[in-house]
Amino acid sequence: MGSSTVKYQYALNEEDHIVNINELSEKDRRDYECLGCGNVLRPVLPKIKQKHFRHKVKCDCSLETYLHRMGKKLFFEKYNECKKQGIPYIIEYEIPVVCNFCKHGPCKKENDRATYDLTKLFTSISEEERDDNDLIPDVLLQTETGEKIYIEIAVTHKSSSKKINSGIRVIEFILTDEEDLNIFKKAKISFIYDSIKTFNFNPDLIKKNLKNQCQKEISYFTVTTNGKCKINTVAIYEFDQIQNSSKNYIVKVPYPSSYFFIEEAEKAFLKGVKVKNCFLCRYHAINKSFNFSEETRPIFCKFYKSAKNSNMAAQCEIYRPDKKVFRSIKS
């Protein structure tokens, strides 16, 4: 495409430093260099419309090359600026957190965020320099002890599998248009952005006692010593305590429902548990309004000709459990 139609925000000045068109005024009208093709750019500084650089002579200029080179240089200049001025260049990353309070763990929780200053650790920075493992990162950060981070600028070409499989940490900036270059204005890299990918960053797990934040639950069917049945739902760590200390019959169920209530009541009876529940009685019929709520009285007693709660069997003199009405046997 003829680049006379391409409008850029950035160019190189005579000192080979990046300038932003929005920082220029009338006194800055001069020739600048295009980082994409090396040709001359001229600032266009209208008072109303958006300012931009435009090629002085029509030529072919690759937006991909421009973005790739500009991303490298913007990062390089910003990092060196931070080093010289003692300004932190912050990297923000997520640390996986697990709760190890109970035997059901470790359970994955929301990640914590941590930060550190890259300039304190990585004192050496170089651009397009061959590494000793025969790889050429876009930008190489290195500590005095030889620890490395590759900074990669990806427009259409992503980080190579050789770089990723090297084990060296890689931070990849994904650029699609000029607006994406704004990420280099701040002295901060946050891994939570979709435009940043990382490889070989494997922070250690943080193990915490997060009992008060536990949202995992277990539902269980229980038969009390007087024969009454119930499905309870408790925190997963509470279930262990209940199971170890209770004298009641207890069995886990996937979730509270009338189906599991009736099924487990029948199973408990067949195991010899002293269950007293109207669902097992020969005189019971299902109340049409049944929705597994004690208030709805799910049982219609054919003997008393009235609606009942299923646990009323515990005090009923005419309660007669009968396997012939058991659903599990019928099915």
Hey, what are 2's tokens?
Answer: 């003829």
pLDDT at 108: 86
Assess whether 103 and 183 both reside in one domain.
Answer: yes
Assess whether 49 and 135 both reside in one domain.
Answer: no
| Domain's final residue, options 189, 207, 225 | 207
| Domain's final residue, options 11, 29, 61 | 61
Domain count, the chain: 3
pLDDT at 289: 57
Domain that holds residue 253: 216-330
Assess whether 257 and 324 both reside in one domain.
Answer: yes
Could you give the maximum distance between any two Cα atoms of the chain, in Å? Answer: 104
Other Cβ atoms within 10 Å of 232 Cβ, number: 16
95 Cβ partners below 8 Å, 6+ apart?
111, 112, 113, 114, 203, 204, 205, 206
Assess whether 140 and 174 both reside in one domain.
Answer: yes
pLDDT at 3: 41
pLDDT at 291: 56
pLDDT in tens, the chain (331 residues): 344 456 899 999 999 999 999 999 999 999 999 999 999 999 999 988 899 999 999 888 999 999 999 999 999 999 999 999 999 999 998 899 999 888 888 888 888 989 989 999 999 999 998 988 889 999 999 999 999 999 999 999 899 999 999 999 999 999 999 999 999 988 998 988 888 999 999 888 889 888 888 888 999 999 999 999 999 999 998 998 899 999 999 999 999 998 999 999 999 999 999 999 999 999 999 876 555 544 567 889 999 999 889 999 999 999 999 999 998 776 5
Assess whether 104 and 157 both reside in one domain.
Answer: yes
pLDDT at 292: 52
How far is Cα of residue 317 from the mean position of the Cα atoms in its chain?
A: 58
Side-chain-facing half-sphere of 187: CA atoms under 13 Å: 17
**CA neighbor of 201 nearest in space, from 248, 226, 155, 164:** 164
Assess whether 137 and 154 both reside in one domain.
Answer: yes
pLDDT at 147: 94
Assess whether 260 and 289 both reside in one domain.
Answer: yes
Assess whether 182 and 90 both reside in one domain.
Answer: yes
- Burial tier of 247 (Cβ tally within 10 Å: 0-12, 13-18, 19+): exposed
- Burial tier of 165 (Cβ tally within 10 Å: 0-12, 13-18, 19+): exposed
Assess whether 117 and 226 both reside in one domain.
Answer: no
Hey, what are 162's tokens?
Answer: 């050789």
| Domain's final residue, options 61, 83, 111 | 61
Assess whether 172 and 117 both reside in one domain.
Answer: yes
Assess whether 226 and 288 both reside in one domain.
Answer: yes
pLDDT at 106: 87
Assess whether 279 and 170 both reside in one domain.
Answer: no
What global pTM score does this model have?
A: 0.68
Other Cβ atoms within 10 Å of 32 Cβ, number: 22
